[in-house]
């Protein structure tokens, strides 16, 4: 390979130097051969682009890359000299350092490849635009001639597949995965490509249709139809006939339409068929059903939609752009190839961060800043930092995202309300489903946890949120501590933007985000006498230290406080929130937070639910007053320490107590057994818990006892035989328990027991035969053998075996 020719350009000499160095080192140095092979492959791909680009603009915006190539050649020479003769720490460290730098070199070269490809595409696009102008002029001349000579107009058919945008980034991997799913898997006839609005679904579908392998497979049998919000099968079939160049038949009823679709397939079956149904909206299941039920083989259907349509198989979810791809797209949209200053790069990074990997947002913002002075760029970033929404400055992006909510308004307004509530939590943070269960139970009457989960599945199906389960092997039992919600930050911004419409005092939700001590102007000036919001969310960062001004929110039923400081004082205005039913305190700081003003809760006579995340309990135990109305309290990743008994004394009417990931919980105080109204007791992932109070049998109203993943729990107290109304006992993953109480059979109401992964449990007491209401036992292969001898006596029992999940990827998803 040689680039020698007259007129050395900006890249030729450093490119040739780098290539020669890589070629020589690849042959001589075994240590880095694999990485050098990758770099050589990248250089091979770059070579024709460098030749082409230098013919048109040899020096424009390429100096940085030339410098990087020169530095790369020096790096390769150093790697060639590196020999790992002995395994000293210095030698190993040096090898690691060079390998890391080689990866960075390849990454830089790949970015150059993207930039040059985009530059070449832009030149081609400009040429194409010129040709289209000429084409329009000629078309007008032709029409004029036809009018003069009375010649009939020739009807031409539009191309079957619209062209993809001239520039696409970040779609190579999704395209490959789409082809694997739709072309290679014979079982898949229909695939739904789903994501939120503006994420590039239609672009990917067009790119899929233009792919050479796809075109070779389907030949002329690729049909691309935009369905949109009001699907009509007769219009779609009419469009298919037009795309084929045939005269569409006349349709008199739906039966004729279906028959014509079948006839269309018969006439086109000489080659495999590909239907692309683009922009399909919720409520179009019947349309997809008609296509899915076509009685022909050798056809594929690709559906693009914001809705997952789960009944038609597992969808393909298109992810957001990576930071690297987002930067390439922004550079192109804003025409930054000739602007390499640090200022532009720094502002670009801030803008990309705000766009959150959404291609539509990146392209629109980039185009709006193209050719603008640097001051305009600064102004846009400053406005965002002050709390302005990107949706305020781009109406096209807002309209695209807003259309998903407009559909919810008509179809399922309660789902829209749930979506808007997700704006209560900080960006880039997972939302605990358990918190949403508490909120929606009081706001919308969703008393059964499963109704909240159903709504979250609905939001996930509409690409408005994503429900994540950290431990898939867990048995679904109505306890959702390992369920979380994630959301694209652009959708979170949409929720906040939508909730912020209208006068402040009349909003249903009030979201307050405070950076440092910069309180909102309206709050400082006390312009609003009373705010009618039912949901109030206040988020502060680690620099917050201001004193809360007075605020009147007498109608608030849910208060969410998100903070990051080690010490946090509850707002004094809480004392007058007479209608407050739910309090959620979420600490995202590194250390458990110490709370002040917790005694204010004593004046809240309607408070029913409290959720504490990453909170230190000892301080609040000293000041907490009796909360007679409180029915449920949840501790998540809290430091329990001393004084927990005082907390329990203040909750005489408690019905549900949940404790999860409270690592310093060793044993419960005895006054736990005085909570005679308690119906649900869930202690999960508290690995140091070694024993329950001996008198736990005094909890005579207890219906659920969940002791999941308490690794050091040795046994269950014998008094549990007195739990006569207990329906569910869960001791899964309590692998220190060796035996069950002899009189366990006295728990006459037990319907379900989970003993999976109780590896030290070697035998069952004979009294299990007295569990007459037992109908389900959840276990693993080992504990299953313990139950088999009793099955002739437990005729109504169904044994469900849970396979152990040896994949530990869920550990990366643990709360931090």
pLDDT confidence of residue 124: 45
Quick one: which of 651, 664, 655, 615 has its CA closest to 635?
615
Three-state SS for 226-239 is EEECCCCHHHHHHH
What letter would DSSP give residue 639?
Answer: B
List, for residues 740-771, the tens digit of each pLDDT value. Answer: 999 999 999 999 999 999 989 988 999 999 99
pLDDT tens profile 2-40: 443 333 355 677 878 888 888 887 777 767 777 777 787
**118 vs 746: which has the higher pLDDT:** 746
Average pLDDT, the chain: 81
Return the domain boundaries, the chain. 11-79+97-112, 171-317, 323-395, 412-492, 665-815
The CA distance from 41 to 715, in Å, is: 62
461 or 730, which is more confident? 730
**171-317 CATH pick, 3.40.50.2300, 3.30.460.10, 3.10.20.30, 3.40.50.300:** 3.40.50.300
CATH topology of domain 323-395: Helicase, Ruva Protein; domain 3 (1.10.8)
3 state SS of 631: coil
Span 593-619, pLDDT tens digits: 999 999 999 999 999 999 999 999 998
Q: DSSP letter for 697, please.
A: G
Backbone dihedral angles phi then psi of residue 705, each to the nearest 5 degrees: -125, 110
Provide mean pLDDT across the span 294-319.
84
**Contact criterion met (CB below 8 Å) for 333 and 367:** yes
From residue 115, alpha-carbon distances to 72, 143, 312 in Å are 18, 41, 39
Determine which of 269-283, 422-436, 700-714 has the lowest per-residue pLDDT on average. 269-283
Q: For residue 576, count other CB atoms closer than 10 A to its CB.
A: 15
pLDDT at 32: 74
pLDDT score for 787: 92
For residue 468, what is the enclosing H or E element?
A: strand 466-469
Nearest to 218 by CA among 276, 170, 171: 276
d(CA 236, CA 240): 6
Q: In angstroms, rounded to a whole number, what is the distance separating the alpha carbons of residues 397 and 487?
A: 17
What's the pLDDT band for 527 if we cut at 50, 70, 90?
Answer: low
- How far apart (Å, rounded) are the C-alpha atoms in residues 438 and 432? 10
Please determine, for residue 710, whether its predicted confidence score (pLDDT) is greater than 80. Answer: yes
Alpha-carbon distance of 786 to 259, in angstroms, equals 60
| 115-119, 210-214, 424-428: the lowest-pLDDT one | 115-119
Burial 127-147 (b: 16+ CB within 10 A, else e): eeeeeeeeeeeeeeeeeeeee
Alpha-carbon distances of 506 from 509, 514, 528, rounded to whole Å:
9, 21, 10
* Residue 128 pLDDT greater than 60, yes or no: no
CA distances from 400 to 306, 307, 315, 320, 403 (A): 11, 15, 22, 16, 6
Question: pLDDT class for 63, splitting at 50, 70, 90?
Answer: low
The pLDDT tens digits for 164-214 are 777 788 888 999 999 888 888 777 888 999 988 888 889 999 989 888 898
pLDDT recorded at residue 432: 94
**109, 42 Cβ separation under 8 angstroms:** yes
Residue 339: the pLDDT is 57
Tell me whether strands 704-706 and 728-730 are parallel, antiparallel or unpaired.
parallel
Instruction: Assign 520 to helix, strand or coil.
Output: coil
Whether 151 has a pLDDT exceeding 50, the answer reads no
Q: Whats the size of the chain, residue-wise?
A: 816
Does the structure show a pLDDT above 70 at 554? yes
User: What per-residue confidence (pLDDT) applies to 85?
Assistant: 47
Q: What pLDDT, on a 0 to 100 scale, did the predictor assign at position 650?
A: 93
Instruction: List, in sequence order, every residue forming a beta bridge with 680; answer none if it has no partner.
Output: 656, 704
Q: Tell me: domain 665-815, CATH 3.90.1150.10, correct?
A: no
CATH of 412-492, one of 1.20.1250.20, 1.10.10.10, 3.40.50.150, 1.10.340.30: 1.10.10.10
The backbone torsions φ and ψ at residue 312, rounded to the nearest 5 degrees and listed phi first, read: -100, 25
């Amino acid at each position: 390979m040689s680039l020698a020719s007259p007129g050395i350009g900006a890249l030729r000499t450093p490119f040739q130097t780098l290539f020669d160095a890589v070629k020589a080192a690849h042959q001589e140095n075994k240590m880095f051969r694999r990485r050098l092979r990758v770099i050589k492959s990248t250089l091979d791909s770059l070579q024709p682009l460098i030749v082409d680009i230098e013919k048109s603009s040899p020096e424009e915006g390429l100096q940085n890359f030339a410098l990087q190539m020169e530095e790369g050649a020096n790096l390769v020479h150093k790697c060639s000299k590196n020999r790992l003769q002995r395994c000293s720490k210095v030698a190993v460290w040096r090898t690691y350092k060079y390998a890391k730098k080689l990866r960075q070199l390849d990454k830089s070269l790949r970015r150059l490849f993207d930039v040059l490809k985009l530059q070449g595409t832009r030149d081609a696009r400009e040429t194409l635009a010129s040709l289209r102008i000429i084409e329009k002029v000629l078309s007008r001349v032709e029409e004029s001639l036809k009018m003069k000579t009375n010649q009939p107009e020739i009807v031409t058919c539009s191309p079957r597949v619209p062209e993809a945008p001239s520039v696409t980034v970040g779609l190579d991997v999704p395209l490959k995965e789409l082809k694997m799913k739709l072309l290679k898997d014979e079982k898949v006839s229909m695939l739904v490509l789903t994501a939120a609005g503006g994420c590039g679904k239609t672009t990917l579908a067009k790119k899929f249709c233009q792919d050479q392998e796809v075109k070779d497979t389907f030949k002329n049998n690729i049909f691309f139809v935009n369905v949109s919000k009001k699907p009509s099968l007769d219009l779609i079939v009419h469009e298919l006939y037009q795309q084929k160049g045939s005269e569409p038949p006349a349709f008199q009823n739906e039966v004729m339409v279906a028959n014509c679709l079948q006839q269309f397939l018969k006439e086109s079956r000489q080659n495999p068929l590909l239907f692309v149904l683009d922009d399909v909206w919720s409520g179009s299941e019947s349309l997809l059903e008609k296509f899915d039920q076509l009685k022909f083989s050798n056809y594929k259907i690709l559906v693009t939609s914001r809705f997952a349509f789960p009944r038609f198989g597992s969808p393909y979810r298109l992810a957001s752009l990576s930071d690297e791809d987002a930067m390439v797209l922004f550079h192109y949209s804003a025409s930054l190839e000739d602007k390499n200053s640090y200022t532009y790069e720094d502002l670009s990074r801030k803008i990309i961060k705000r766009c959150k990997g959404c291609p539509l947002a990146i392209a629109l913002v980039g185009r709006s800043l193209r050719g603008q002075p640097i001051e305009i760029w600064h102004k846009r970033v400053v406005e965002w930092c002050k709390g302005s929404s990107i949706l305020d400055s781009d109406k096209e992006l807002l309209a695209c995202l807003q259309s998903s909510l407009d559909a919810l308004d008509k179809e399922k307004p309660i789902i829209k309300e749930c979506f808007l509530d997700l704006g209560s939590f900080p960006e880039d943070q997972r939302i605990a489903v358990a918190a949403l269960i508490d909120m929606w139970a009081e706001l919308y009457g969703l008393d059964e946890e499963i109704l909240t989960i159903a709504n979250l599945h609905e939001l996930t199906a509409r690409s408005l949120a994503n429900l994540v389960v950290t431990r898939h092997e867990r048995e679904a039992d109505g306890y959702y501590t390992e369920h979380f919600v994630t959301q694209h930050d652009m959708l979170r911004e949409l929720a906040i933007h939508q909730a912020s419409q209208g006068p402040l005092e009349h909003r249903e939700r009030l979201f307050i985000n405070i950076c440092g001590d910069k309180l909102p102007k309206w709050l400082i000036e006390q312009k609003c006498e009373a705010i009618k919001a039912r949901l109030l969310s206040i988020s502060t960062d680690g620099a917050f230290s201001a004193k809360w001004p007075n605020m009147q929110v007498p109608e608030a039923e849910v208060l969410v406080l998100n903070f990051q400081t080690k010490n946090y004082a509850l707002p004094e205005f809480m004392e007058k929130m007479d209608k407050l039913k739910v309090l959620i305190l979420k600490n995202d700081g590194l250390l458990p937070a110490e709370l002040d003003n917790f005694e204010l809760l004593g004046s809240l006579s309607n408070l029913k639910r409290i959720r504490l995340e990453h909170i230190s309990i000892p301080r609040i135990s000293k000041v907490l007053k009796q909360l007679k109305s409180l029915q449920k309290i949840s501790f998540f990743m809290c430091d329990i320490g001393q004084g927990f008994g005082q907390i329990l004394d203040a909750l005489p009417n408690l019905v549900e107590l949940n404790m999860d990931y409270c690592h310093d919980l060793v044993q419960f105080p005895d006054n736990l057994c005085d909570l005679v109204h308690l119906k649900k007791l869930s202690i999960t992932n508290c690995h140091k818990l070694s024993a329950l109070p001996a008198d736990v049998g005094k909890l005579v109203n207890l219906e659920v006892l969940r002791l999941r993943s308490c690794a050091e729990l040795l046994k269950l107290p014998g008094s549990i035989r007195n739990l006569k109304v207990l329906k569910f006992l869960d001791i899964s993953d309590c692998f220190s328990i060796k035996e069950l109480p002899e009189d366990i059979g006295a728990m006459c109401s037990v319907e379900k027991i989970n003993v999976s992964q109780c590896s030290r449990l070697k035998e069952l007491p004979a009294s299990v035969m007295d569990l007459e209401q037992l109908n389900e036992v959840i276990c693993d292969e080992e504990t299953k053998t313990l139950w088999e001898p009793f099955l002739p006596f437990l005729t109504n029992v169904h044994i469900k075996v849970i396979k152990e999940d040896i994949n530990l990827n869920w550990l990366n998803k643990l709360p931090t």
